[in-house]
């Protein structure tokens, strides 16, 4: 998927290597990890002038430290005005895509 001048990478295709039956679960689990959250939220703060950093800091304090913390690509895009991870859903969904910086971190 091309966004501006950047070719975004399919997290869904990468996640299929870990779990071909539930790649979205792999993405959700990764996004719900504290270290992952720190990475992709910092990426947004650096690269997205419209990022909702106030909500990000609230989540970091109120939710991330606890086992109940879950993040999904849709929640991230909707609640934080994120641009680094782009979800799609529905019958004809192409999956979840991300900026290469985030995709490489996900793959590692």
Report the distance separating Cα 29 and Cα 36, nearest Å.
10
How much of the chain, in percent, has pLDDT values that exceed 70? 96
Count of all residues that appear for the chain in the document: 108
Q: The whole model's pTM is what?
A: 0.88
- CA distances from residue 18 to 24, 57, 76 in whole angstroms, order as listed: 11, 30, 22
DSSP conformational letter for 88: -
pLDDT above 80 (res 91): no
If one counts the domains in the chain, the total is 1
Domain containing 85 equals 2-107
pLDDT grade for 3, boundaries at 50, 70 and 90: confident
Alpha helices in 6-92 (DSSP H): 11-18, 23-31, 34-47, 53-62, 73-80
Closest CA to 39 of 102, 104, 86, 107: 102
Q: What is the pLDDT of residue 1?
A: 83
Instruction: Tell me the pLDDT band of 90, cut-offs 50, 70 and 90.
Output: low
Query: For residue 93, what pLDDT is reported?
Result: 74
Q: d(Cα 52, Cα 55) in Å, to the nearest integer?
A: 6
Mean pLDDT of the region 29-49: 95
């Amino acid at each position: 998927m091309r966004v501006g001048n950047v070719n975004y990478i399919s997290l869904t295709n990468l996640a299929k290597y870990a779990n071909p039956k539930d790649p979205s679960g792999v993405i959700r689990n990764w996004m719900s990890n504290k270290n992952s959250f720190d990475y992709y939220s910092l990426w947004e703060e650096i690269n997205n002038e419209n990022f909702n950093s106030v909500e990000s800091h609230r989540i970091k304090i109120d939710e991330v430290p606890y086992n109940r913390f879950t993040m999904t690509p849709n929640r991230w895009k909707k609640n934080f005005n994120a641009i680094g991870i782009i979800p799609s859903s529905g019958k004809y969904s192409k999956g979840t895509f991300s900026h290469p910086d985030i995709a490489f971190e996900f793959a590692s």
